[in-house]
Structure 1
Amino acid sequence: MSHSSPIQAVIFDWAGTIVDFGSFAPTSIFVEAFKQGFDFEISLDEAREPMGIGKWDHIKAVGQIPAVTARWTAKFGQEMQDSDVDAIYAAFMPLQKAKVADHAEPILNAVDVVNDLKHKGIKIGSCSGYPRQVMDVLIPVAADYGYKPDYVVATDDLPQGGRPAAFMALKNAIELGATSVGACVKVDDAAPGIEEGHNAGMWTVGLLLSGNEAGLTFDQYQAADEATLTAARERARIKLGKASPHYLVDTIADLPGVIADIEKRVLAGERP
């Protein structure tokens, strides 16, 4: 392994970035948890809306979507309370642990891209909106598929909390021994994860088609015509664009070109 890159670490999100094309494991489980906890229906689109933040906060944020608030209040006579969020989260956890392994397969080219980065001496960090007990299920299954990051932070590992704050990305930089956040890259499919990268002072890369915002399954992505892909890209671009990533590409398969460009910029003395 040679240290041939000025980039010291690349920190990846998990679902929709490295594994689980379309970020379906968390989305479908949110729908199920609302149903199981309160016999309350939410749509997949509503479940996707706040994706990227920690799961307890995500449930609360779904409850604050105006249409959901209206239906919840009509059904229960008041807005969703924190105790309701607790109950849905309690239903969510066992469902998520049971389901996450089914969605652990790496996204196309992910393992090759990661291994090529490792080969250049770049450390591989990772962080997730998943809590630690879900990550403990996902990490070994992903490893069986060949994805082995050098470090993993779960959203509840740090007392300060998760995205969009910088803590998880910075914890990766520290544990991976990166001497400069300006030599680190954060890759994510959701706006809070891109904001996390900005807040940590890192280069940021948004993924348009493999993640939550496009909402395509891998089969749909492979079968899609150009018009379908363009529409999905635009949907994702509007949402991710609010976080102003330095780069926007379709999937992790496009990352090597981005890394090459960032390397040039770092060598030229540019900072994120």
Structure 2
Amino acid sequence: MTLLRKFLRTLLLFTWNQALCCVFAVVIFASMAITKVVTIPFIPRYDLILIICIITQILMVRYKLETVDELKVITLFHIIGLGLEVFKVNMGSWAYLEPAWTKFWGAPLYSGFMYASIASYICQAWRRFHLQFHGWPGAAITVTLAVLIYANFFTHHYIYDFRYVIMAALAVVFIRTSVTFKVGTVQLKQPILISFLLIAFFIWVAENILTLFGAWTYPDQEGAWRLVHWGKVTSWFMLVIISIMIVVQLKHVKYKLQQHEYDSKEGVRQL
């Protein structure tokens, strides 16, 4: 009975922390659903969603659900995601069919927040679950892979799609990498590739819900909504890897800078 109680307590705490990590994503989901049935005069739906996202971001920092450093990372992801959205929309990969004042070359500005919500989740999970990576590859390897993955999102429209080649390389590079995380006093461990795949799968599930709400529309959904092709899981898999790579590298850079600052202060004290 004690073991069962401990398991249930750990599961409840895990679920609660996961919910806190997903606040930004939940707000986006809710805004999609609400604005589908509730309209405000003179404010197009996409613009209203953008306003909600900005207010949410401000409130999360104001009430310390996110730190200023995390906001910087999230802003970077917003820019990266918006750049990808603009390109994909103009290549006909998907479309935003509704009008908006804040459309940028066919992509509404709120679309960058969908990528930012992934970064928000990763940053908060890092802090709330005390993530530690073991066997993480060197910076040269991860940066190279991140650049190749992001570039392939663009170049596959013109040349061969190297996603499966890149995924094979990722499997080789990360096969021995694992992540440990704490839920209360319980520490758990999981292969990092499993983590990548699980996050990608749940984003794909979320994508199906978002397209149902009209967040964007794939060409085969214009006549009637249908399930997003399962192959999109591979795209999210690689995007999740980019996201985690960037967060890990930025965390490492910040740690080195803090360590350098500490060593400098110690050196001054010794003098």
Q: Could you state the TM-score of these two structures normalised by the residue count of structure 2?
A: 0.27
Larger radius of gyration: 2
Q: Which has the higher contact order (CA 8 A, sep 6+)?
A: 1
Normalized per residue, which structure has more helix? 2
